[in-house]
Amino acid sequence: MNPALFLSALRRGSRSLLACVLVLLASAALRAQTKDSCLDCHQYLPEPMGVSAETFSQDIHAQKGLTCAACHGGDPNSDDPEKAMSRAAKWKGKIERRQIPELCGSCHSDAAFMKSYNPTLRVDQLQQYKTSVHGKQWAAGDDKVAVCTDCHGVHNLRSPSDSRSSVYPTNIAGTCARCHADAAHMKSYGIPTDQFASYQKSVHYEAMAEGGDLSAPTCSTCHGNHGAAPPGVESVVSVCSTCHVFQAELFEKSPHEAAFAQAGFPGCVTCHSNHEIRHPTDAMIGVGPRTVCVQCHAEGDAGYAAAAGMKARLVELGSELDKSNAILATAEQAGMEVGEAKLEAGKAHDALVKARVTIHAFDMAKLDEDVAPGLKLAKKTYEAGEAALHERTVRRQGLAAALVAIVVVLIGLKLYIGAIERESE
């Protein structure tokens, strides 16, 4: 072998060897850094001391590289339990319930620290918690109220965007219900425990649980999460209006706004309830026994007459629309082209939907601004349906006439063929 080539190969080889050694050293150092000797023992211990490696690996903190020591202190690099759990290693042991909010807040309220993990994460949770009913009770010495771990869990705490998290939108109500639906737990507070059962009957729950709409309201949407508190009478409209903007705007300009305030009625909740907000229907309005209007209005007052009038207008538009849809469906089944009329009927339906929103103005003239054009459209589309069915009849009559003419021609041809064939024979 050429000595120069040999030396060159040796140099290349020694450089590669050095690179390998460096990689091995670096990985050993990294391993030493993320070592968590706590789990070596605690994964074999029974509850409540035991935490399996698999459980902890699901925890968002573990996934971000934090170890048990981040909360419990101690030295996770030491395999000697005496050293790992020594006061010298700042080992805290079991975290007392009283210490939990402040311990979590020690990181989660530190904007600079949190930025290194998630720059978009809020850092006011502890501050908000202190304003919540939970936080205030806690400050007053009540250990039963919820602290961070009661809602978020511990050791397998997941990101709120993880569908397995206890604070994922579809799981929040169930998490709140763990305490709020527990009559024994809530007994000392003197508040009802039927909120979750009521919420499960609501249109909001239906949208969330059955419709899969993660933006549908759950407990924290109206009450807040870390600052959870019941909205006061005066703020109910503001809470609902975060989604139901038009209804709130109309209500604020309506005669009911001042009347409700004077009577101390909690805005929207007065008619729609709070947790058990059922799908609103036209049956709610009017002067029938099950309507909400008669809770306050009695026969002879102006509101009673207005409620009856508004109900009548909604029913009129609804029934005209039903009639129109039925005739258009019949015409369509008969093969008639009624696409344009169906489009117009869709606009009439939009007018009805808008009218149901305008109801919140409790103003007959305003309601008529939506109902009148809707009625006009519904009548027009009904006429289109009638015209289509009339056209169908005309077509069938035309067909009958044409078939008679064809049969006459066929008979004529048959006779003519017979005649010429007889003639040729």
Partner 1 sequence: MSLLAALKRWLDERFGWEELTAPLRKKMVPSHRYSYWYFLGGMTLFLFLVQIVTGALLLLYYRPGANEAFESVQFIMTQVHFGWLVRSIHSWSANLLIFMAFAHLFSVLFLRSYRKPRELTWLSGMVLLALMLGFGFTGYLLPWNMLAYFATKVGTAIPGQLPLIGTPTLLFLRGGEEVTGATLNRMFGLHVAILPAIATMLLLLHLALIQWFGMSVPPRIEKEWRQAPASRREMRFFPNFLLRELMAWFVALGALGALAALFPWELGVKADPFASAPAGIKPEWYFLFMFQTLRMIPAKVLGIEGELLGILGFGVLGAAAFLVPFLDRKKPIDTSRWITWAAVLVLVYMVAMTIYGFIAK
**Contact positions toward partner 1, by CB under 8 A?**
335-337, 339-340, 395-396, 398-399, 402-403, 406-407, 409-410, 413-414, 416-417, 420-421, 424
- The least distance separating partner 1 from the CB of residue 403, rounded to whole angstroms, comes to 5
- The least distance separating partner 1 from the CB of residue 420, rounded to whole angstroms, comes to 7
Q: Which CB sits closer to partner 1, 45 or 415?
A: 415
Tell the residue number behind the tokens 């809530």, with chain if given.
186
- The least distance separating partner 1 from the CB of residue 399, rounded to whole angstroms, comes to 4
- The least distance separating partner 1 from the CB of residue 423, rounded to whole angstroms, comes to 11
- Cα 334 to the center of its chain, rounded Å: 41
Residue 334, C-beta contacts closer than 8 angstroms, at least 6 positions apart: 388, 389, 392
C-alpha distances out from residue 65 to 31, 117, 118, Å: 12, 10, 13
Indicate the SS3 state at residue 29: helix
DSSP for 136-169, please give it. HHHHTT-SSS--HHHHH-SSS---TTSTTSTTSH
- The least distance separating partner 1 from the CB of residue 328, rounded to whole angstroms, comes to 13
Is-contact 257 362, C-beta < 8 A? no
Q: Which CB sits closer to partner 1, 326 or 410?
A: 410
User: Looking at residue 215, what DSSP letter applies?
Assistant: T
Indicate the SS3 state at residue 326: helix
Q: Which CB sits closer to partner 1, 329 or 402?
A: 402
Q: Which CB sits closer to partner 1, 259 or 417?
A: 417
- The least distance separating partner 1 from the CB of residue 381, rounded to whole angstroms, comes to 13
Q: Which CB sits closer to partner 1, 259 or 404?
A: 404
With 0-12 / 13-18 / 19 or more C-beta atoms within 10 angstroms meaning exposed / middle / buried, residue 191 is: exposed
Q: Which CB sits closer to partner 1, 47 or 423?
A: 423
- Nearest 5°: CA angle at 357, between 354 and 361? 120
